[in-house]
Structure 1
């Protein structure tokens, strides 16, 4: 058979014809070598790619122009195309300006002005509102404040929609829909099953399986089962008090919620895109959306801010607490929260009255409103109040450690109340988060069922919002009080009591120097940079620290288990764990993602679940020793003593004492005898301690392999460390220093230092700013298009430290970057100091040139870049005009293997439209 007859298209599997010849446009061979141009163009439109998916070769087309095309375009064609492009650009500029003015000007400005008008509290402000909208006073400040108001209203709207979805899919509380029809009862039961699993009282009742496990739980803690039974009885009484009503009338609200056409909503969601909603598609439909956003802002400000605030304000004035609230510096927030509390109480009373008179629709509406207010208040308490209490309690218990008093904290609060409250809230948030992370680590070590009183955050059925919806308010208050007691007791045990012991035993060790000012000659900016860029990543991003902590917890558990004969209770029976793979799987299952709190649950899930009663997941039976309650009490005492000793060790003896002393000794080489913030000394000492411990553990792990292997590995690691130090000196030392000096000469010195004064340069500050600028440039480079610097940086990241290529880094990265920076620093200096004096200019002119040559050359480089960009744009415009007027088609280009170049195909040229 002839070779030409065997060549077929890879897409349509047809042979080539004079009208439709075959091409081989890529590296692929065999049966997929040839393809028709029409088939390829159709496939490229379908796949939206410009290269072969197999060999990754980019397809090339050569344009086919009309025979009457001149060699150069006429001036009138270029001018007409230029005018058309300018007109299109002006039209888009006007449209996008209108979009920016509407979303960044009209929407926030109207929100701010309406907010101020409503909270002014005068009739004249309402009458002058149209004129205030057009006022030009404080435009920027009002726009920024309006952006915050718009963000709050949009978040409130999204939260309401999401809460509605939680109620629809998770089921409403039983007291709200207690008379559902029989055909819907099963569906509601299925929807509420996970919620019941979350509740403390339903954990054992909803899961009757595993009878042996349930019996073990009864033996483990009978008081917990009695408490669960009492809670179930209380909830049943709450359901009975709601009464029984007509099923059809009671379910009208639920049917109304479900009477919507899902197809219509899906079609609307498909048509409405972000570009169309914001007006970025070129249409004016966004003006309607602007009107609706302004209306939504006004409605939410009126309903969720104006009404609760004035309800709380009138109540506080009537009760005589107005002066106390004003003295708190947070009058608006406290008044609004009080208004919400009173509104919730009012909704409860109205719901009870509507239930008595059997106003079913009103009863359901009032119940839903109460759920919204209840969930909002609980979120504020859990996310705002609880971390704030923990932060203040931590500060109060650690006053002696920093030689501070309550009077100092009161003065700082009076001077900056907002900043003080935010810092304490942030400290409390971090404390709660790490406490929850430690609980997750305990679950990896202990037997499933030991921490039965703590909710498992990795439980897929755990949903804190559903618990807020379904559980009564007294349950949340009781849990909040217990959480405060537990967290506060741990702070007392691990912070206040160790500080008192240290003050008694080591009176000269405390306090730590944490003054906000420093008399050191070195700026603390470089120290902060060292802390943020070197110390913290090394300490926090290492998995070894967590493994060491886990090993310590396991060793303590084993020791306590054997001392108190609670090994079976704490860790389970070793024989059963070795022989039963199923129990081992159950023990490892909750610890799959225990490195951090799941992102979707947030910090609320971290401490909302604390002290929530529920049946253990993956329960393992254990052996009850004699005097079991006494042994549990001794275990708690032993745990408290261990936490106290661990806190003393972390604060004083080998760890923190050595780290502080070592840090102070190391910082003395840098700053001399000046006092430095103990945060820097402790961080530097901890980093050195961590490096030492890490080196010792690596050497201990190498010991069983023999002396020769140890020497070989020490040689390899020493070589790698030497290469890393050289790269660090070049990339983290020389490059940031040169970059910081260039920034100082180009930007800082011309703006800050007058011509008649001499600028002073501080190498440490320039290096610190250079490190920051280098990181920003590296991040922008990695996010930008592909070019040589991005390729080199990606290759260096891919190799890592263990496979570091010193020659490649110096030749491809360090040498070019340092050369460019040195040229940028030296060439202007040579011109100003060597060339300009030869021209015979005055001393003042020499000084002016010397001081302004760096920003002048920067402007020249920027102008050259703009000119080159405009030239490229004009060339693209020229090609666009030529293609629009004279292009008749395109021809696919074959791939030539021998020459490595692409040339036209051997078949006779055929014009084809793309």
Structure 2
């Protein structure tokens, strides 16, 4: 940057020169014309930008405090005591306020919700009369607070869901049957919904039929001609009205206008609050007591929610079920309250729909719209519950039933477990179903990426930004959702049969000794279920899911399978498309309809290929998917349906074979490797989780080596040798670092945690503790992961910078020396010193002082927690001393500070 004369220096903010009253400073590393700035301009800019450093060079600005001339050398004791008491008073007041906030929101609100809930569902007048005294009762306070928290959470979730559903309806519009205001359309409103949404999926795709378009255009042209003729024939006439007639006409206009307003009335237009509230003000975190009013309103809303959304539906469902003698079956299900309430909501949904139709028949449009909106809200709520709750639960139970022989269990054992703990059993089966649905949907999305666009036209593209299931729940009729639900149950249930039940039966028939999996632990083995779960959740699953090559391998396998099977059955064009024909069509840019013909097969029929954007007609099923995507053209062979059926059968057989391979190969490899290490007899008692993990890693390593060989063998021996040296170097570095991070550090962490916390709390002094290094290592894995997460979330310091640098450099480029010096060595020294120093001190003191052996044992057991407590106390005192210095500076600045002066940047001092 060119140099500037000293007389030409200007402020970077106001572009003015310096003066004696307003001198220019150079407070950062920037040079040139942006080096200088006025102090007032900089302070104003920092106040606006809310930063303390230069936005260009990132140098932090420095200010020197200016005190008054009468400031003493040392702070007076009276000022110090006054400031200390003032700080204590402010702290106590803040503590009392936040305690009141916590008691109100975490105590009063949930406790009130629980007590009101119990009072209403008791069903007696005595409970209503004793409600004020029950509110003040201290019996079962903790349990009632937990129960009330669940009620409050349901309340908040319901109101948030209602607001969100309102936004969805406002953005997507009302269904067609709800917008019909004419009396002639009232009787066919529900049928109109079916007709609109079922007409070849035209409205769903936003594509009308060609015949409808032509007829509509003709009708519009005829109507416009008739209107023009009437306007030409019409002549203006003079109308004379007296005063009374004018008044009657004005009154009629007012009535018509009011009727029009009632007809256009929208029940979703809620009045918004005039005052915009923030979370701090609403919860009381701003220091005011306005939150007490909000507490009152939340308690009132909870009561209203319990009365409207729980009490009324439950008693309605209970009355109907008791009338038909079905309440006994619901009691046997252990979820009598939930199922009864659900049945009550179903009755309300049907009642709202029937009343909505009746209101439109009676020409009470405003009431009909309100009832229609209530019907939509309940319909969407029930559909969401079935999609997110019932369907995963059904899948989870079906998975468990089909895999009973895999773990040598029976249906009776599952029923017994359900009877003993119905909530836990239901939750785990629901979670299992959700995991199955998630991975199945991910696999279907992977199929849509590999296969021809349109091959899976019946599957929805969940990644489509225009896909909105809530809008479909609002607009589509109920019978179509029921049909989709049943179809999904059939598809997912059939997939479980093919991938779980059939492979298990084949294994039992051809290798009966292979099953069941060993999941029961020996009592004499120092391994707990917690250890297995920690290994599974913290090591195995993350390591397998984070492999980036897995997705590419699956796509390659799917593409190869599609090519082979498509070639055998003659449906390769349907599965993968004709890329040459597509490129030729794109180059020619022909507007006329084309014919996609396979010249190699004379018996194949021609399929018209017409660009969708260039026509107004509804596309064929092989050109338009459910989500509106344009299909890639393909060649349709003879006996196409038969070929597709054979394709589906081969796909089912392939899925069963792949599932059989996954069940057998990794477990078999892992068991064989463990038998070579521990022997056949000992290997039979090992939990099959470990052989499975070892087998999966072995298969992954073999697949990775095969992939590398396919990539590097065509490049020659020199390139292979160079890559092998790079891989050996990388693997060596990873092995060294992994030995410390996943081996030594977890063992030391777990052992230190056991010596400091577990043994002093669980083992009495007269007993000798037993240290299981395996459990210590497993627990250390969790502690190391937690420590790394806290380090990355904490402030910038040496170890965090080193870890982030290793992550950015990657496994190939990171420096082993820097990793050892910055991370491994300080952590290892700290852990070793924490373990060895107390041990050496205890035994040295016992030897020097000549203490008995019993006292040595007591000293060794207590020295670890005592030293940790001592270091924690020293750290706390250092923190308090730092806070005291800050308090002194604050008192001094408050009484004697006059101003601050900006400091220039000095390279030598920096």
How does the TM-score come out when normalised to structure 2? 0.85
Partner residue, 2:287: 282
Cα pair distance change 1:743/1:787, threshold 3 Å: same
CA contact (8 A) 2:538 2:782 kept: no
Picking from 638, 644, 652, the partner of 1:626 is 638
CA distance in 2, matches of 1:438, 1:733: 35
Partner residue, 1:206: 206
Picking from 490, 493, 502, the partner of 1:488 is 493
Partner residue, 2:803: 793
Cα pair distance change 1:677/1:203, threshold 3 Å: farther
CA contact (8 A) 1:520 1:674 kept: no
CA distance in 2, matches of 1:698, 1:732: 26
Query: Once the 2 structures are TM-superposed, how far is the Cα of residue 713 of structure 1 from its aligned partner?
Result: 1.5
Partner residue, 1:57: 59
Partner residue, 1:833: 843
Moved more, 711-720 or 529-538: 529-538
What is the CA deviation profile of residues 425-447 of structure 1, one whole-angstrom value per residue up to 9, with x for unaligned ones? 12221222222212211111222
Partner residue, 2:788: 778
Cα pair distance change 1:74/1:809, threshold 3 Å: same
1:865 corresponds to 2:881 = no
1:883 corresponds to 2:898 = no
How does the TM-score come out when normalised to structure 1? 0.85
1:694 corresponds to 2:696 = no
Partner residue, 1:911: none
1:639 corresponds to 2:648 = no
Cα pair distance change 1:539/1:259, threshold 3 Å: closer
Query: Once the 2 structures are TM-superposed, how far is the Cα of residue 407 of structure 1 from its aligned partner?
Result: 1.8
CA distance in 1, matches of 2:767, 2:487: 65
What is the CA deviation profile of residues 337-369 of structure 1, one whole-angstrom value per residue up to 9, with x for unaligned ones? 111111222222322332232222221221111
CA contact (8 A) 2:166 2:268 kept: no
CA contact (8 A) 2:202 2:208 kept: no
Query: Once the 2 structures are TM-superposed, how far is the Cα of residue 568 of structure 1 from its aligned partner?
Result: 2.2
CA distance in 2, matches of 1:141, 1:873: 40
CA contact (8 A) 1:179 1:250 kept: no
CA contact (8 A) 1:253 1:364 kept: no
Partner residue, 1:564: 569
Partner residue, 2:443: 438
Moved more, 345-354 or 871-880: 345-354
Partner residue, 1:129: 131
Query: SS where residue 275 of structure 2 aligns?
Result: helix
Query: Once the 2 structures are TM-superposed, how far is the Cα of residue 848 of structure 1 from its aligned partner?
Result: 2.7
CA contact (8 A) 1:180 1:250 kept: no
CA distance in 1, matches of 2:552, 2:719: 25
Cα pair distance change 1:819/1:132, threshold 3 Å: same
Query: Once the 2 structures are TM-superposed, how far is the Cα of residue 74 of structure 1 from its aligned partner?
Result: 1.1
CA contact (8 A) 2:667 2:691 kept: no
CA distance in 2, matches of 1:731, 1:496: 41
Moved more, 670-679 or 10-19: 670-679
CA distance in 1, matches of 2:567, 2:573: 9
Query: Once the 2 structures are TM-superposed, how far is the Cα of residue 204 of structure 1 from its aligned partner?
Result: 7.4
1:339 corresponds to 2:344 = yes
Partner residue, 1:764: 774
CA contact (8 A) 1:110 1:133 kept: yes
CA distance in 2, matches of 1:116, 1:680: 48
CA contact (8 A) 1:309 1:335 kept: yes
CA distance in 1, matches of 2:576, 2:854: 83
What is the CA deviation profile of residues 194-234 of structure 1, one whole-angstrom value per residue up to 9, with x for unaligned ones? x98999722577325999xxxxxxxxxxxxxxxxxxxxxxx
Partner residue, 2:103: 101
Partner residue, 2:19: 17
Picking from 8, 29, 35, the partner of 2:10 is 8
CA distance in 2, matches of 1:155, 1:677: 42
Partner residue, 1:70: 72
Cα pair distance change 1:582/1:614, threshold 3 Å: farther
CA distance in 2, matches of 1:196, 1:536: 47
Query: Once the 2 structures are TM-superposed, how far is the Cα of residue 76 of structure 1 from its aligned partner?
Result: 0.9
What is the CA deviation profile of residues 402-451 of structure 1, one whole-angstrom value per residue up to 9, with x for unaligned ones? 22222222222222222222222122212222222122111112222222
Moved more, 731-740 or 277-286: 731-740
Cα pair distance change 1:391/1:536, threshold 3 Å: same
Cα pair distance change 1:504/1:673, threshold 3 Å: closer
CA distance in 1, matches of 2:778, 2:457: 50
Query: Once the 2 structures are TM-superposed, how far is the Cα of residue 4 of structure 1 from its aligned partner?
Result: 3.0
Structure 2 counterparts to residues 712-727 of structure 1, below 5 A: 712-727=722-737
Partner residue, 2:662: 650
Structure 2 counterparts to residues 66-465 of structure 1, below 5 A: 66-179=68-181, 201-202=201-202, 206-207=206-207, 252=262, 255-257=265-267, 268-269=275-276, 272-465=277-470
Query: Once the 2 structures are TM-superposed, how far is the Cα of residue 93 of structure 1 from its aligned partner?
Result: 0.9
CA contact (8 A) 1:179 1:247 kept: no
**Largest Rg, 1 or 2:** 2
Query: SS where residue 850 of structure 1 aligns?
Result: helix
What is the CA deviation profile of residues 597-650 of structure 1, one whole-angstrom value per residue up to 9, with x for unaligned ones? xxxxxxxxxxxxxxx983751222222222222222222233233333333333
Query: Once the 2 structures are TM-superposed, how far is the Cα of residue 391 of structure 1 from its aligned partner?
Result: 1.5
Cα pair distance change 1:506/1:31, threshold 3 Å: same
Query: Once the 2 structures are TM-superposed, how far is the Cα of residue 26 of structure 1 from its aligned partner?
Result: 0.9
CA contact (8 A) 1:180 1:247 kept: no
What is the CA deviation profile of residues 776-824 of structure 1, one whole-angstrom value per residue up to 9, with x for unaligned ones? 1221121112222322222232222212311112111111111112222
Query: SS where residue 19 of structure 2 aligns?
Result: coil
CA contact (8 A) 1:667 1:681 kept: no
Cα pair distance change 1:204/1:521, threshold 3 Å: closer
CA contact (8 A) 1:203 1:615 kept: no
Note the residue ranges of structure 1 that are not aligned, 5 or more in a row: 182-191, 212-245, 585-611, 902-914
Structure 2 counterparts to residues 22-33 of structure 1, below 5 A: 22-33=24-35
Partner residue, 2:747: 737
Cα pair distance change 1:21/1:8, threshold 3 Å: same
